[in-house]
Structure 1
Amino acid sequence: MNNTILINYVEFKAKDLEKTKAFYTGAFGWTFTDYGPDYTAFSESGLEGGFEKTKENIVNGALIVLYHENLEDIQKRVVQAGGTVVKDIFSFPGGRRFHFTDPSGNELAIWSDK
C-alpha cells in the first residue's frame, strides 16, 4: 500500500453559485456539474474542485481535499500525528469525508468513494 497521500481536490466557498460559474467559465473556460442547489464541481482547470454555497463570511475560501480509500484508518493516523478532527466522517453524494486541522490550524479534508 502506498502511504503517500496526494492533493486530490480543492473546494472553495461561494456566495452566489451562478455568478461564480459565469465568472470562471468566462474568464478561464472551466466547465461545471451541479450537485443540488448548494454545490457545483468544476473541471478543465488542471485540478478538479468545487464551490459550496455559503451565507457565512468567507475568510479562507479554499479547502484542500485529499483522497484515501480507508477513512477510518487515515483519520486515526491524522489524530496520532497531532491533527484535530473538526468534522467527523459524513456522507455526501459520491462518497464520504472528514475535516481536520493541522497543528497550525489549517483545515483540510480527506474523502473516499469507498
Structure 2
Amino acid sequence: MNTKLKHEQIQYIEFLSKDIVKAKNFYTECFGWKFSDYGEHYTAFEGDYVDGGFTTGTPIKGTILIVLYSKDIEASKNKVISAGGTIVKDIFSFPGGKRFQFTDLDGYEIAVWTE
C-alpha cells in the first residue's frame, strides 16, 4: 500500500483540457510534474505534493474534480449520504481501483477512490 495515502484526504485533482499535450508541456515546465498517459484522452501527473490528471474536454470554471482517498469506500459513501450529499456516480471500477462521485450541499462534485 502507498504510504502517502491518508484516509479521506484530498489526494488527486482532475482537470479538463482542450489540448493535453500543451497542458503536459506547460505543467512540466512550470512545476516539473511527471506524466503517465492512459490512452489519447487521459494523462495522469505526479507532483511533489499533489497527484492528478488531465482528461480531454472544454475547461469551464469550476470543473476541477477533487478526489479523496478512502481506506473504506463503502463507509465513506455512507457518510456522504448520511450528511446529505447526493451520489452522482455510484461505485465503479477503473484501472487503479474503485471510486464514486457525489455532490455536496452547495452542488460541488467530489470523488472518493480506493485501491
TM-score, structure 2 length as denominator?
Answer: 0.85
Q: Among residues 100, 110, 113, which one is paired with 1:108 in the alignment?
A: 110
Structure 2: how far apart are the matches of 1:15 and 1:51?
A: 10
1:96 matched to 2:98: yes
Q: How far 1:57 moved relative to its partner?
A: 5.1
Deviations 1:19-56 (A, max 9, x none): 110111122221111112221111124211111112x4
Aligned to 2:86: 84
Q: Which residue of 1 aligns with 2:56?
A: 53
Q: Give the aligned partner of residue 25 of structure 1.
A: 28
**Deviation of residue 59 (structure 1)?**
3.1
- The letter of the residue matching 2:19 is D
Deviates more, 1:74-83 or 1:4-13: 4-13
C-alpha separation in 2, matches of 1:43 and 1:57 = 21
Q: Does 1:36 align with 2:8?
A: no
Which piece of structure 1 moves more, 80-89 or 4-13?
A: 4-13
Is the Cα–Cα contact under 8 Å of residues 16 and 59 in structure 2 kept in the other structure? no
Residue 46 (structure 2) pairs with residue 66 (structure 1): no
Q: Secondary structure of 2:29's match?
A: helix
Compute the displacement of 1:108 (Å): 0.5
RMSD over aligned CA atoms reads 1.5
The runs of 5 or more residues in structure 1 that have no matched partner are: none
TM-score scaled by length of structure 1: 0.86
Percent identical among aligned pairs is 51
Secondary structure in structure 2 of the residue aligned to 1:58: coil
**Residue 110 of structure 1: CA displacement?**
0.1
Unaligned 5+ segments in structure 2 are: 1-6
Separation of aligned partners in 1, 2:21 and 2:33: 13
